[in-house]
Amino acid sequence: MSSHPNEELSSIKSDPLSRRDFLKTMGMVVAGGLLAGCAPKLATLSAPSVTAVTSGTPVLYRPVVALAQAQTYDRKLIRQQMQALFDGLGGVKDILDSGDKAVLKVNLTGGTQYKPKDGEKPTEYHITHPEVVRAVGELLLDAGAKSLYIVESLSDAHSVSEYGYTEIIRSLNATLIDLNQATPYSDFAIVPVEPDHYIYEKLLLNPILKEADCFVSIAKMKPHCSAGVTLSMKNLVGIGPLRYYRRSAGDGNRTSFHGTETGKNTRLPRVIVDLNRARPINLAVIDGVSTIEGGEGPWTIYTKQVKPGVLLAGKNALATDSVAASVMGFDPTSEAPDAPFLQSDNYLNLACAQGLGTNHLNAIDTVGVDPAEVHYPFAACTEW
């Protein structure tokens, strides 16, 4: 399959991420693959790229993931606990300079047509809670961010207001961008998947993702039927414009990303890795205060609300997702047919093999609450 489903995309200018963005996010994970024994493809980068970060020698780098408890979405509590996460990570000055443009990718998946089964609030079920986004945005502004952008590929026009984001956007003086559109730019940008790819050599994205100085993925902690888990890395599936990544105009999701609906899914896990190469995550935040098990949204059969009462953050998305998966009761290095990867390849293993860090828990440091204290076994998704 070609990198882009539409021939007209070839006329759009390819514009890679800046060297600063790429090195800032990718340089520190060279040893993440070395530590864990994953195939460290990042080590094949040109010597100047590695030298810029490691002084010419791969260094032992242990990613850090911070954890905190929060039993409710009380505004003061979430801000306090998010501050604790930032402090545990040593602040954000290494990923955010004064005057930088910060872009926050949230998860408003599915749209307002999908309602929780028992009348729960969507933001306490399958949608990133706006109070988590508020706290992250405020802390980034305090750290010197000049402008904030809240981005998502919106499923419908009512999502932003119905999920409580209108007030959050106003209070942060943020700009909302629908990633399904090129607006406010004249056109989309073609972004290479560097330095290697599984499925897509290039991806078509809204230019705000390329221009972001600090890119934050704020995900909901959930199992996923065709990816095993959906956390900060899987959250990037929503950065692709829907109309360019579906097989037919009537498809309601990115069917070109998802692959077959029967048998083990091998395509989507690899697309997740490609997306994370095209737009590396500088800060991963995971909302596990109140969420669901058994699937990723109300459209799956056996979803049920659960309340783990946990928040996680880290500067290496793979490590952060791996710790989150372990909190959910899953082995982040497992493979199908072991849970949660009952119906798919493990994208965490694939990302590790591509040198994006490590998913081996013994190579990751945690700070804040001990993961054992917030361990909350989830039911995996067994059926759509």
Structural domain span for residue 43: 7-299+312-374
- Cis peptide bond prior to 184, omega within 30° of 0: yes
Indicate which CATH number applies to the domain containing 219: 3.40.50.11440
- Cis peptide bond prior to 280, omega within 30° of 0: no
pLDDT of residue 44: 25
Total number of domains in the chain: 1
The answer as to whether 202 is a domain residue is yes
pLDDT of residue 180: 94
The answer as to whether 289 is a domain residue is yes
Residue 188 makes CB contacts below 8 A (sequence gap 6+) with 9, 12, 182, 204, 205, 206, 207, 241, 244
Q: What is the C-alpha to C-alpha distance for residues 24 and 283, in angstroms, rounded to an integer?
A: 11
- Other CB atoms within a 10 A radius of the CB of residue 41 amount to 14
pLDDT of residue 16: 44
The answer as to whether 279 is a domain residue is yes
The answer as to whether 380 is a domain residue is no
The answer as to whether 33 is a domain residue is yes
Q: What is the C-alpha to C-alpha distance for residues 192 and 200, in angstroms, rounded to an integer?
A: 9
| Residue numbers in the chain where pLDDT is lower than 50 | 1-23, 25-34, 39-57
Q: What is the C-alpha to C-alpha distance for residues 247 and 255, in angstroms, rounded to an integer?
A: 6
The answer as to whether 381 is a domain residue is no
pLDDT of residue 261: 60
pLDDT of residue 40: 38
pLDDT of residue 253: 78
User: Measuring CA to CA, how many Å separate 268 from each of 228, 284, 297?
Assistant: 10, 20, 17
pTM: 0.87
The answer as to whether 32 is a domain residue is yes
The answer as to whether 305 is a domain residue is no
Strand partners, 223: 229
